[in-house]
Each structure stands twice: as structure tokens, then as C-alpha cells.
Structure 1
């Protein structure tokens, strides 16, 4: 079961950020409020952020997810094909699969460098647009993760190494470790990699482009 603890200015903001990082719709998540936070003097000094734990609901007793999401997967392929045609970017195959309640997409393209863009920015934009277009239909609230030629898979392998080294440092020194600012996708990977470590906890702090993951020993 995917689970993270996350902070925000308000409880609702923390919940929304947690849902985004886990790629979960609200009805598929369980939320526990750990700290409602507090405003400081005149709302300026001593502000205490809200803190929540967001996790995915158990799938026990659910219907076959592959059948439930078959229509969504078809819609995703149609959306991405339309976008790529509009960009004049050629592709040979768009495949979709279901994992942990998310639709995973992999695009095969002879123009993968254009599709991926600098540091994956074009690919991330395609990911965001695909999710926005799919979610216009209330029947399709599943999270979509778009990849091309295994780019994100390679990035996840790199993040696994970073997370492993950071976890070893925290266990050795007892001091929290703060990563450099990351995208929501990268933060989610770090959270999921370390969620099984019973001695550690991870949470996100900061705002916007400066948001980062922190690893610390559990209290």
C-alpha cells in the first residue's frame, strides 16, 4: 500500500499535495490528519504547517481493475495519439498497462529526443495535458503516467540509488537529509522507494519549484 506523510499551509493543501504525489483520486485514498497546524502571530511569525498521512485504499474485494480501466486506457491512447499528431511527432506504438491503480503509458518514437525534451520537460508536459484531458470525463479519474522509450524508468533507477545512499546517511548520522528540489513525479518515487523502511519517514516541504523531499528517523 502506497503511503506518504506530507505538509502544507492547510490540511486541505497537504491532502491535495499528497494525492498528487501518490497519483490517487480522493475516493481511492485514506487520509489521516496528524497535525492541523496553526497560524503564527498576525499570520506572519511562528506558522506551523499542517501534516497529514495519505495512503491508498485496500483493493480487497474490488472488481477486476483491468476491466474497470479498459475504457480509460483506450481513451488515453486516443488522447496521446491526437497530441503527437498535432505536434508532428512521429510514433510507432503507444502501449498502456495498469499498475497500482495507475495507467502506465510507454511511447515508442523515432523522435524520442524531441518528445522527451530537456530534463524530461516536454514529456512531463505531455503527462500533465493527458491527465487534464482525461479527467474532463468524471468517469475517468485514474492517474496517468506517461513515459517514452523508458526515459522515466531510467530516471527512477537513478533515484533509487540516490534514495538508498541518503537513507544510509540518515541511519548512520541520525540527522535528516534534504534532497534538492524535485518534480512531483520524482518526489513520489522517493516516497515509494523508502515507504517500506520501518526506521525512516519521508515528507515533502517547500513550495512550487522549490519543493523537496526530506528523510528523517521516525520519532
Structure 2
């Protein structure tokens, strides 16, 4: 039985997309609604597209269906029904680690998963969610996606400089928050975990180089003045970059100090 899974803001829209792909009309298919659409908070957070599976009915099955149910009713789409979403604040506590090896493990740990296909509708949900967010922010841009093994890379391109700054935020805080939300959307109600990375105009690559330059500059000062240098608070990913950049520098060690979100790297001078 030939079938396809499609998404849409309404059930009807999703079905229409599937019918177009299958080159069939509604009387020739079987429609299974996998997920009902939800508006979510402000039409954004928690919003869900409709997901349907549409299968072409084989000729023999069609004949049997006609004979047994000559007066079968047509499918009714309840597109106009909305559902109120109650959003509760969720506090996520993560263990704070001191050593670079522990921070690397925290950043790189992944849940074992089966190989997924690029057509998996959960990745489509992530892209749709991101485009909806940009639209709500009145930001004109395109999204390029690249599917890798167990991961999805999304890049925001074709965006002007001012809007790029809005998306990035202070030291990438807004970009990180948006990436977190996209990951939630991609993996909600899914048995196939994928890691979604989000970037805009190659910001993350530029940020890595900037942090590495900062690390070496502060290490030189620590040696020159023979004193410890405290950096500004950073997230675990950026702290790991600092640790890695200086792990082989003589007379220098690095540790992390403080509690999230004010945890920072201390570059320490060590006498010979």
C-alpha cells in the first residue's frame, strides 16, 4: 500500500499535500490523523501542526469497501476547533562540573538512536517552527538544512545585519535559547532523538575563534603579571572552548567557578 506522511497547519492542508504527492483524490485513499493541530501559546510556543498519514487503497480493497459500505460518509475535517494550552514553568537542573573532561562529556553526550531518514516529520516540525518564529518576529530570512547521522543542522541565511544581531543576542544567548526550543520541537513525541544545531551567518564559527583569541590573550597576561585571570560568565559550551584552547599551554591551568548561569573560567598562573 503506497502511503505518505505530511504536515500542515490544518488537517485539510496536510491531507491536500499528501493527495498531491500521491496523485490521488480523497475517495481513493485512507486517511489516518496522527496528530491534531494545536495553536499553542500566542500561536507559537507549544504550537503543533497537524500530521496525517494518507494511504492509497488497493483496487481489491476499494471494491470490498464499496460493496460493504455503499453509503460511507465522507471524512470531516475539524479545522476550526482550537484547544487551550496551559503552559507551566519548568525548572531544569543540571549538574555543574569542574574538569574539562566532565564538561566535554556533558556537551557531547547523546542518547543512542536508530538511523533516521531526512523525511522524518519531526525534523520537518523543527524547520516549520523556526520559520514561524522568524515570521512572528517580522524577520525575512531563509533556512538551509543539512541532515547528518542523528543530527540536523539549520542555518538562517539571507538575513540583514540588524536582524542578525537580534537573533544572536548578547554573546549568543538568544540564538542558544532558540536552538533549545527547536530541539524540544524536533524531539517531542519522538522515539528517534536528533540533535539540532542552529546558526546564523556562521556566527558560531566566528565565536569560537573569538573565544580562542581571548583565551590566549588572557593567558599571556596571567604569565606576565603572575596572577589569575577571571573571565566573564559563559555557558558550558563556551567554557569548554576556553579549556581546550589552553590545555597545552605551559604554566597555565584552567578551572570553572560559580553557579549557573554565572559560572566562569579562571585562568591560573602556575610557577615552574
Is 1:23 paired with 2:107? yes
Higher relative contact order (CA 8 A, sep 6+): 1
Q: Aligned partners of 1:122, 1:182: CA distance in 2, in Å?
A: 14
- The answer to whether the 8 Å contact 2:155/2:198 transfers is yes
Task: State the partner residue of 2:258.
Answer: 206
Q: Aligned partners of 1:104, 1:80: CA distance in 2, in Å?
A: 10
Q: Aligned partners of 2:116, 2:191: CA distance in 1, in Å?
A: 13
Within a 5 Å distance, the mapping from 1:163-202 to structure 2 comes to 163-197=215-249, 200-202=252-254
Task: State the partner residue of 1:110.
Answer: 159
Shift of 1:113: 3.6
TM-score by length of 1: 0.57
Instruction: Output the aligned Cα RMSD.
Output: 4.1
Structure whose CA Rg is larger: 2
TM-score by length of 2: 0.48
Within a 5 Å distance, the mapping from 1:98-177 to structure 2 comes to 104-111=153-160, 113-114=162-163, 116-117=165-166, 118-119=169-170, 120-136=172-188, 137-140=190-193, 142=195, 144-177=196-229
Task: State the partner residue of 1:93.
Answer: 143
Within a 5 Å distance, the mapping from 1:65-84 to structure 2 comes to 68=115, 71=118, 75-76=122-123, 78-84=125-131
Higher strand residue share: 1
Shift of 1:162: 0.6
Shift of 1:85: 2.1
Structure 1's unaligned 5+ residue stretches are 1-11, 29-66
Q: Aligned partners of 1:169, 1:139: CA distance in 2, in Å?
A: 47
Q: Aligned partners of 1:76, 1:116: CA distance in 2, in Å?
A: 26
- The answer to whether the 8 Å contact 1:181/1:210 transfers is yes
